[in-house]
Amino acid sequence: MKIIVGGAGSVGQSIVGYLAQGNNDIIVVDSDPKRLDELSQIADVRPIHGSISHPGVLEKSGAKSADILISTTDSDETNMVSCQVAYSLFNLPKRIARIDNDAYLSALWSTLYNESNLPIDLIISPEQSIAEAIYRLLKVPGFSEFLPFFDERIYLLSLRCQSDCPLLKTPLNQLSMVAPDLEISFLSIVREGRSFIPKETDFLEMGDEVYFLTPKDSIDDAIHAFNMDKPAVERVVIFGGGQIALNLARRLESDDNILSCKIVEENPQIARQLAKELDNTVVINGAMLNDNILEEVAIEHTDMAIAVTNQDKDNLLVSLLAKQSGATSAISLVNSQTNNNLVDNIGNNILVHRSAITISKLLKEIRQNKIDFAYSLGKGFGEIWVVEVEDYMNICNHKISSLRLSSGIKIGALQRGEEIIYPHSHEILQVGDKLLIYVSSSHIRRAEQIFV
């Protein structure tokens, strides 16, 4: 697939880093040659210097033969114009634009984005998506994923097993003996950097990152079974005052369970703007690694410290310092894929990966089969797909055992009418079934061949 990516900033880098893992011809356009050089050193891309919205630059990028344009510059207007030019002059089939400004995202203007006006097939808003993901995690402190499926009837959760987890060393098919109320379907375990779909005879070890499904009304049972009971989050401190902090603070201001929210931002202009736009959030202008600032925000009484600057090292350091100073939990945004492995160096800190959240919004468009929903997990080691069985599909009316699923593919759950099923190998897939599928990154092509 030939893909043109406009913008080599943090969002563009996240997308390119993921796309480069597949069999894609990637062209990256940016007006900053330094950014292009840095990206070219870490990914197999063809760099083009210039503005993605200029017709000549798009032509030089091969827009006439491209399959997708993903415009992710820091300018909403540039991204919108590039989609218009790509459609009007080059008839580029699929156009995706990053738009962050609320003024463009209002439901009042939803009719603006169509072939008659602005021909944008998909809008992505990474800053809003990241804020939404972090907000979800506040509801289950200590978990690194918390995602609803099938009208919120079932949830994907992820956690890191601690030394006091009661389920360690117990074969998965015997967990009911330790936790009788536990109702979960294991999708993946990440152990020492390697991801695998566990067998029933496998067991959990300390340090494992575990991904599993559980019904909504069984979430509390799962939390208790893994000994992850933590007090509810009521006091939040956000380090970094960008768009993510603004979007997150707005959500927290409307949450009756949040007693206080504070933002620490070093740039005085950004701090003043935040103070104008937020009603019940305390905005503090100062260096986030300063002991006096940490004392001013009462970090020792904070339930959750959240670091969302553009600098990964700052996010990781301030989260670690916050926990050492008394904060109950911490969340750090990781902007660069090169820092993904730092998770093992910062204790129990929860990492939110920009690349995973950003690419999740695009997966439905770039996969070679019909997917209703797709989500990239953690460090990009696997994906979650939702696929509806239709009568023309080869899988229809076949047992799961006959599909020849490889070791990196698992149907974790299916919805049939009002029923949620954890299917066994003898389950026959029927028209209308909605499948929740885990696919490891190395088995994506095989999964695309099966679920078509």
Give the lowest-confidence range in 4-8, 186-190, 287-291: 287-291
pLDDT at position 452? 79
pLDDT of residue 339 exceeding 90, the answer is no
pLDDT level of residue 19 (50, 70, 90 thresholds)? confident
Residues 158-165 have a mean pLDDT of 93
Strand order in the sheet with 185-191: 145-149, 154-160, 209-215, 185-191, 194-196
Q: Could you read off the pLDDT of 221-234 as tens digits, one per residue?
A: 999 999 999 899 99
pLDDT level of residue 322 (50, 70, 90 thresholds)? very high
Q: How far apart are CA 280 and CA 271, in angstroms?
A: 14
User: CB 403: neighbour CB atoms within 10 A?
Assistant: 16
Residues 6+ apart with CB under 8 A from 345: none
| b/e per residue 49-76 (b: at least 16 CB within 10 A) | eebbbbeebbeebbbeebebbbbbbebb
pLDDT of residue 22 exceeding 80, the answer is no
Residues 240-248 have a mean pLDDT of 94
pLDDT of residue 6 exceeding 60, the answer is yes
Residue pair 440/188 in contact (Cβ under 8 Å)? The answer is yes
Residues 329-339 have a mean pLDDT of 82
Tell me the DSSP string of 232-297: PP-EEEEE--SHHHHHHHHHHHT-TT--EEEEEES-HHHHHHHHHH-SS-EEEES-TT-HHHHHHT
pLDDT level of residue 346 (50, 70, 90 thresholds)? low
Residues 116-142 have a mean pLDDT of 93
Q: What share of the chain is helix, strand, coil (3-state, %, to 5)?
A: 35, 25, 40
Q: What does pLDDT average to over the chain?
A: 92
Q: Which amino acid is at 202?
A: D
User: CB 21: neighbour CB atoms within 10 A?
Assistant: 12
Q: How far apart are CA 39 and CA 338, in angstroms?
A: 12
pLDDT at position 115? 84
- Decide the pairing of beta strands 434-440 and 46-49: unpaired
358 alpha carbon, distance to own chain's centre: 6
pLDDT at position 337? 64
pLDDT at position 186? 95
pLDDT of residue 107 exceeding 90, the answer is no
pLDDT of residue 340 exceeding 60, the answer is no
pLDDT level of residue 236 (50, 70, 90 thresholds)? very high
Q: How far apart are CA 299 and CA 330, in angstroms?
A: 11
- Is 433 or 102 the better-scoring residue by pLDDT? 433
The 8-class DSSP code of residue 349 comes to P
pLDDT at position 345? 47
CA distances from 118 to 74, 86, 91, 288 (A): 18, 11, 13, 41
Q: Could you read off the pLDDT of 362-404 as tens digits, one per residue?
A: 888 887 678 899 999 977 889 999 999 999 999 999 999 999 8
Q: Could you read off the pLDDT of 62-84 as tens digits, one per residue?
A: 999 999 999 999 999 999 999 99
Q: How far apart are CA 375 and CA 446, in angstroms?
A: 17
pLDDT at position 21? 73
pLDDT of residue 341 exceeding 70, the answer is no
Q: Could you read off the pLDDT of 261-311 as tens digits, one per residue?
A: 999 999 999 999 999 999 999 999 999 989 899 999 999 999 999 999 999
Q: How many residues does the chain have?
A: 452
Q: How far apart are CA 99 and CA 234, in angstroms?
A: 31
pLDDT level of residue 105 (50, 70, 90 thresholds)? confident
Residues 427-448 have a mean pLDDT of 93
How much is the pTM?
Answer: 0.88
The domains found in the chain, sorted by start residue, are 2-124 (3.40.50.720), 143-225 (3.30.70.1450), 235-358 (3.40.50.720), 362-450 (3.30.70.1450)
pLDDT of residue 353 exceeding 60, the answer is yes
Tell me the DSSP string of 72-108: --S-HHHHHHHHHHHHHHH--SEEEEE---HHHH-GG
pLDDT of residue 26 exceeding 50, the answer is yes
